[in-house]
Amino acid sequence: MSEQQFFGHIIDGEEVESVGGERLDVWNPWTREVWAQAADGQEADAHKAIESSRRAFDEGPWATMGRVERAQHIHALADLMEERTDDLARLDSTNMAKPFEEAKHDVARSVWNFRFFADHQRDHVGEVYPMDTGHHTYSEFGPAGVVAAISPWNFPLMMASWKIAPAIAWGNTCIIKPSEDTPASVTMLGRLATEAGLPPGVLNVLNGHGAPAGATLTGDDRVDRVTFTGSSTTGKAVMASAASHLAPVSLELGGKGANIVFEDADLDNAVYWAVEAIFRNAGQICLAGSRLFVQASIYDEFLARFTEAAEQLSIGDPFDPSTRFSALASRKHFEKVSSYVESAKELGGRFHTGGVADDGSWVVRPTIIDSLALDAEPYCEEIFGPVCVVNSFETEEEAVALANDTRYGLNAMLFTENLSRAHRVSSVLRAGTVWVNCFFIRDLRTPFGGVGDSGVGREGGNFSREFFTEPKAVVMQI
């Protein structure tokens, strides 16, 4: 087996096997073959990673390094990532059947995450307040310590970068545990961190399953912060585990995003984004517009155009430049999404297009369903695949009530050319992000996170600063 086909842990700047030699298979979901192996981290490996990150934090120089120098290190890593864009993207495309162009876009966004947070901490301005008592007081934002970051498989590199970048920028050391399904690009990121000259232990990569690898990290009292992106069910377990040693958690969890199209929308734009919102990355996006609400007066026309656009997405090999849509990320996930599709059929859903491919592949075609009851599982639960459930509404109030009728609250979209309505509806939607006439556009200075079962806390800009530091007030008598 060649070097590139094994993804070890990166601990203290070295790529290593698990202590006991355990490995797991890494699949290519398009070819449905094992194409690599990764270290399968056990408790002993997690302990090694924690010891290394603890030492790197306590003994320095990372936590006490000047802000400019730390930013330079992070930019050096970003430079290497940029140079190796195709290699990183190839790993994600192979590992989860993400169309190669999209994977390259994800690398660019990951690079930007590192650059943004490097500069954000470097240019950060503290607060100083003269007090009426004659004292003055200021705030300090010192690093919190060791961060455990746990990420999912849908954007393997990008989700990890979103956690690692602010964590290390603010002077913490970080252990990233990527999904067992997609260890490749994050392991390469760990290799690049060594090559870029990050001090050993600043970024450790622990491969392996949720338990024992992830669970050992979250429950260890040498870990000071836990940042997790994944399902709501796992999020609850992670929070309980971190609570055992009072580590603050940031949880980015599941979603069932509402996409509302009003009759005064620019329909070309609304169709374009409705397709992107549910079929990009084969619908494996926490932010997916998986519940579509269309005003009754344009319902038939919109549905016809949306269906036509969905059918035009070319399905195939992620490395074929014409491919816009490919297989689901694993057999397990394909089976899960397929079972929702079957249940939608049994529950009387009307299929406008799509369904499970019957060619042995792990493809579920872009699927559009209406006529499902509002308490049907495929309507209420996060499917995390290319399945859009559609309903009509008559009034703005009804649209908002339908959109908010969910235990999730990660994001919502609305399409209208009426400015007052855009503001009015945005303010009453129960969601961490609302996109008006667009989708998936992100400014890293603004809060990102979810309401209800979609998460706890916000990351981005100063929100990340507050999570990844220990803010301190210094009060001084003059």
User: Is the Cβ of residue 94 or residue 250 nearer to ligand NAD in the bound state?
Assistant: 250
Least CB distance to ligand NAD at residue 217 (A): 7
* Cβ nearer to ligand NAD, comparing 192 with 287: 287
What is the smallest separation between the CB atom of 388 and ligand NAD, expressed in angstroms? 16
Q: How far is the CB of 333 from ligand NAD (least distance, A)?
A: 7
Q: Which of 286, 382, 388, 396 is catalytic?
A: 286
**For ligand NAD, the closer CB: 171 or 255:** 255
Give the nearer residue to ligand NAD in terms of CB position, either 190 or 450. 450
CB 200 to ligand NAD: min, Å: 23
- Closest to ligand NAD by CB, 75 or 209: 209
- Distance of closest approach, residue 214 Cβ to ligand NAD, in angstroms: 3
Q: In what order do the strands lie in the sheet with 249-252?
A: 14-16, 9-11, 203-205, 173-177, 146-150, 225-229, 249-252, 455-456
Residue ranges binding ligand NAD (CB under 6 A): 150-154, 159, 177, 179-180, 209-211, 214-215, 218, 229-231, 234, 237-238, 252-255, 286, 382, 384, 410, 450, 455
Between 290 and 323, name the residue whose CB sits nearer to ligand NAD.
290
State which residue has the least CB distance to ligand NAD: 210
Cβ at position 156, least distance to ligand NAD in Å: 10
**What is the distance of C-alpha 408 from the center of its chain?**
16
> Can 380 be counted among the known catalytic residues?
no
Residue 252 bears catalytic tag = yes
Catalytic, out of 102, 180, 252, 459: 252
Minimum CB–partner distance for residue 254 and ligand NAD (Å): 3
Residue 282: which of 323, 222, 235 has the closest Cα?
A: 323
Nearer of residues 70 and 163 to ligand NAD, judged by Cβ: 163
In terms of phi and psi (left: phi > 0; alpha: psi -120 to 50; beta: otherwise), the region of 145 is left
Residues tagged active-site? 252, 286
